[in-house]
Structure 1
Amino acid sequence: MSKEPRNVPASSRKDIFMSEISNESEISNEFEFPEFIEPGLEKIEVIAKFNGDIVRVAEILEAEVEIIYQNYAIITIAKDKIKRLASYPQIEHLELPKNLYFELSSSLTSSCIPSVQRADGFNLSGRGVIVAIIDSGIDYMHPDFRNSDGTSRILFIWDQTQTGTPPVGFNSGAEYNNQQINNAILSETPYQVVPSRDTNGHGTAVAGIAAGNGRASNGINRGVAFEADIIAVKVGYRGYESFARSTELMRALKYVIDKARRFGKPICINMSFGMNNGSHRGDSLFETFITEISTNWKTSIIIPTGNEGSAGHHYHGKIQTGEVQEIEFFTGPGLETSYLSLWKNFADNFAVEIIFPDGSSSGVVNIENQVKTVRRPNLILNVFYGQPSHYSLEQEVFFNITATQGPLPQGIFKLRLIARNIVDGNYDIWLPTLEEVGEDTFFSDPSIYNTITLPATAEKVVRVAGYNARVGNIALFSGRGDLADPNSYPDLAAPSIDIQTARTGGGYDSFTGTSVAAPFVTGSAALMMQWGIINNNDPYLYGQRLRAFLRIGAERKAGIPYPNASFGYGTLCLYNTMNYLVEYELGEQFWLNLT
């Protein structure tokens, strides 16, 4: 409520006010109504800085006023009365409000997704497509994964960590179908019916971005493919929820693709996992399996580049014949085990030696040793010289350090390389990922490049980097490709910082990392597949074709060369991609008519 002026007779107060506003015919034309105001609105809100009786001004103009703080008000007024409002002496300044969004909403906007979802745009929701989340599980009780009638959108959950009835063709874990999940939702004790939980919360967050429908927030926190079907695999092995081996992921891939084929639906698979134990060249069996199965059925696999860009876990060097080099790395507190994975050209010959923090040495380990075990007080070092395989020309020298009592010693370790006969000389070394050893274990002179984690290094998958959608910069933690190998670059980048998405237990929370960048692309792929395969505009829109259109539609800044090791071909812009699909559809139809 406004305050009346003191020591002024009531009969005069009206006269003073009316004298201030009596000359309404002399309205200033200095306040120009912005042309970009949304058309069709009869009334709008404006923010007003005022003095005096703003309530009376609002009454005269038939406007609504909310005094929100001293001399600040929100006025809802007819558009054609804005200039009159601006002319009153009580108004010091007017400002149109600026739109604010939850972080997920703004990230969708920066990725050009809402215009593809809207009915007056492409009207795509993911209907008819399966989104598979291979992760830490899913909170099936969360409203964002239910239909409007309360039934679950989740077709299957396979919890690999539980004992129960496994899927057909598999020997472990417990599978729950849609009917069982619906029975659990209706039960007063749901977790006695379907006992699978996402205790980590990672999988639920990823699923919320890729396919959540935002029911818990009245649509505000809606994800990308909000009407897609969902299959969730909680990876791990029996009793070990925090651990997943590459074999579990391989089983999970087969499982979800088999399900999609059975239902006759295209599938987008989000796999937000990463590790450093490998050559990073896509040549392990794990990676080649992923490459090959990605061509099976109508499938697209999306994997983040990992969070190793600024972790200090990669070292690149070059050595010459007769040279001795020392590479320092630090170990943080509480570690019971760690490793170094060194990859070099098989034609190069050098010996290795580890200097421990107390100054003692492992002794020189030559290639002739092949395998050597070194015992020190409270720890064991195993050194293994690998050999090329029929997949790889490279050679790995693997160092595994394990504490026998208590944690590993903190401090500086040194890896000494003693070159003999060198032909190429380039080599790369990786420490375990942040998730394994934390941020206190790192090389003293690391490289930020060639830091994309496995299995994003597999061929024929969509590699997704993370960037800050607020400022447009690549996230410091985002894994980067090898500068010397453009084939190792990310495909594109998506928002990855402070993303609001579904939280285990209900509601929403903020998440950061490339793991939450990938599902923006996974959901986008589902919308593309709906348009192409389900709506019969492009029946072959999956795999490498889908990947290519994501690349061409990515937004690119002027003056920056693309592709590059950080952003790949640019940042996700689904609307651009869809427009390219429409453009090329015409050529495709012409070709089909000719044949």
Structure 2
Amino acid sequence: MSDEEKYKIISNAYADFLIEYNNDVTRFAAFPNSSVNYINKKYAVIHMPVSNMTPDSISKYGYSALPGCYGLLSAPGYNSTGIDKIRNIPDLLLRGRGILIGFVDTGIEYTHPAFKNIDNTTRIISLWDQTIDSANHYPEGFFYGTEYNRNLINQAIKSDNPLAIVPSTDENGHGTMLAGVAAGTPVEEYGFIGVVPSADLVIVKLKPAKPYLKTFLAIPEEAICYQENDIILGVKYLTQVAERLKRPIAICIGLGSSGGDHGGSGMLSQYLSSICENPRTAVIVSAGNEGNTGHHYFGERKPNMNPDNVEFIVANDVSGFSMEFWGFLPIISG
């Protein structure tokens, strides 16, 4: 992708497709009038005019090419984990010193005392805000958003108007909460301390999902969700920072979706699995907090079985919804 084409990444007039091209660029021919943003030699993001999105787009490009949308998950139970007992064992000293903790989420309130050292400097190594467009201040090779390094964040913290220097903030609070629970600096007056208060932080603030995709998937306009391709690129950014600094990193993803096969064959799942093969890299994902809300159904069909009746309860004000069927090939005995 070139600088002349990068506007397509954030433009609502362009649709995004995730494809597995395996270093075979001939696959791009199936996407007319498009631009390619490479993730690696296996995966790429295709940006194509939204006008090309038609009801038969799934049959044209494949369902897996449509980025999934992921919402926020959070049900912290810090006290129930027993972390304090382990962390306070003198011989272990498990406070995260020398470790990077990366977050792909709603951003961070970088001026909060939970993310400062005792000398009032930041513990944030860098922050990539995908929502702030800038001419040439995006991370190298990513073509959108704005990257703020530790020096610039420290300048902002010391100023009377921090947002005039680093205008990134966390309007939702979800990313700030996760970062605080995982790695917050001790704040004695509140009796607060994160799990690894000596670790350094690397932050990605995700840009919201594009309107065309929410419409296509019948996701309410006001719903907070993020695209699979932006999450993947966020993880890629975190790993590149860790590689550059030659430091181990634990990546936290507090996002989830009811869609997908839940079997690890999706592109995001595969990408995260490949990342975990790297030395000194760990990925932590949320297990979901829907509990027994009944958003999923599993059934097994056998010969001479009566059909299952599955009840759908849809509110009167819901204009539409999307639903996925995932099946296994029948087992033929003989």
Flag whether TM exceeds 0.5 (same fold): yes
C-alpha deviations, 1:194-240, integer Å up to 9, x for none? 1111111111110011100133x447110111010001111124888
Question: Does 2:311 correspond to 1:328?
Answer: yes
Question: Does 2:158 correspond to 1:186?
Answer: yes
How large is the RMSD of aligned CA atoms in angstroms? Answer: 2.4
Structure number with the higher strand fraction is 1
Which residue number corresponds to residue 148 of structure 1? 118
Larger Rg: 1
One-letter amino acid of the structure 2 residue matched with residue 301 of structure 1: V
C-alpha deviations, 1:509-566, integer Å up to 9, x for none? xxxxxxxxxxxxxxxxxxxxxxxxxxxxxxxxxxxxxxxxxxxxxxxxxxxxxxxxxx
Which residue number corresponds to residue 338 of structure 1? 321
- Structure 1 unaligned spans of 5+: 1-103, 349-422, 425-595
Q: Separation in 1 of the partners of 2:288 and 2:171?
A: 21
One-letter amino acid of the structure 1 residue matched with residue 238 of structure 2: V
Which residue number corresponds to residue 290 of structure 2? 308
One-letter amino acid of the structure 2 residue matched with residue 126 of structure 1: G
Which residue number corresponds to residue 173 of structure 1? 145
Displacement of 1:121: 4.5
8 Å Cα contact 1:160/1:238 also seen in 2: no
Identity %: 34
Which residue number corresponds to residue 91 of structure 1? none
Displacement of 1:259: 0.4
Which residue number corresponds to residue 196 of structure 1? 168
Q: Separation in 2 of the partners of 1:158 and 1:224?
A: 23
Q: Separation in 1 of the partners of 2:209 and 2:267?
A: 23
Q: Structure 1 261/237 Cα, relative in aligned 2: closer, same or farther at 3 Å?
A: same
* 1:196-595 aligned within 5 A: 196-215=168-187, 217-218=188-189, 220-237=191-208, 242-321=224-303, 323-347=306-330
C-alpha deviations, 1:459-481, integer Å up to 9, x for none? xxxxxxxxxxxxxxxxxxxxxxx
The alignment's TM-score, normalised by the length of structure 2, stands at 0.67
Which residue number corresponds to residue 587 of structure 1? none
8 Å Cα contact 1:115/1:122 also seen in 2: no
Query: Taking CA–CA contacts closer than 8 Å with sequence separation of 6 or more, which of the two structures ends up with the larger relative contact order?
Result: 2
Secondary structure of residue in 2 paired with 1:209: helix
Which residue number corresponds to residue 160 of structure 1? 130
Displacement of 1:117: 3.4
Which residue number corresponds to residue 28 of structure 1? none
Displacement of 1:122: 2.2
Which residue number corresponds to residue 118 of structure 1? 88
Secondary structure of residue in 1 paired with 2:312: strand
8 Å Cα contact 2:209/2:227 also seen in 1: no
Displacement of 1:242: 3.2
Displacement of 1:330: 0.7
Q: Structure 1 177/209 Cα, relative in aligned 2: closer, same or farther at 3 Å?
A: same
8 Å Cα contact 1:213/1:227 also seen in 2: yes
C-alpha deviations, 1:362-421, integer Å up to 9, x for none? xxxxxxxxxxxxxxxxxxxxxxxxxxxxxxxxxxxxxxxxxxxxxxxxxxxxxxxxxxxx
Q: Structure 1 254/314 Cα, relative in aligned 2: closer, same or farther at 3 Å?
A: same
Secondary structure of residue in 2 paired with 1:317: coil
* 1:53-68 aligned within 5 A: none
Aligned length: 244
Q: Structure 1 238/308 Cα, relative in aligned 2: closer, same or farther at 3 Å?
A: closer
Displacement of 1:118: 3.5
Secondary structure of residue in 1 paired with 2:322: strand
Q: Separation in 1 of the partners of 2:224 and 2:169?
A: 13
One-letter amino acid of the structure 2 residue matched with residue 332 of structure 1: A
Q: Separation in 2 of the partners of 1:328 and 1:239?
A: 31
Q: Separation in 2 of the partners of 1:175 and 1:276?
A: 31
Question: Does 2:103 correspond to 1:133?
Answer: yes
Q: Separation in 2 of the partners of 1:208 and 1:121?
A: 25
Q: Structure 1 289/327 Cα, relative in aligned 2: closer, same or farther at 3 Å?
A: same
Q: Separation in 2 of the partners of 1:210 and 1:250?
A: 21
Q: Structure 1 290/333 Cα, relative in aligned 2: closer, same or farther at 3 Å?
A: farther
Q: Separation in 1 of the partners of 2:296 and 2:210?
A: 32
C-alpha deviations, 1:153-203, integer Å up to 9, x for none? 001111112212211110111111111111111121111211111111111
One-letter amino acid of the structure 1 residue matched with residue 117 of structure 2: N
Q: Separation in 2 of the partners of 1:328 and 1:113?
A: 42
C-alpha deviations, 1:70-112, integer Å up to 9, x for none? xxxxxxxxxxxxxxxxxxxxxxxxxxxxxxxxxx9x944x433
Secondary structure of residue in 2 paired with 1:163: coil
Secondary structure of residue in 1 paired with 2:125: strand
8 Å Cα contact 2:108/2:170 also seen in 1: yes
Q: Structure 1 255/206 Cα, relative in aligned 2: closer, same or farther at 3 Å?
A: same
C-alpha deviations, 1:466-511, integer Å up to 9, x for none? xxxxxxxxxxxxxxxxxxxxxxxxxxxxxxxxxxxxxxxxxxxxxx
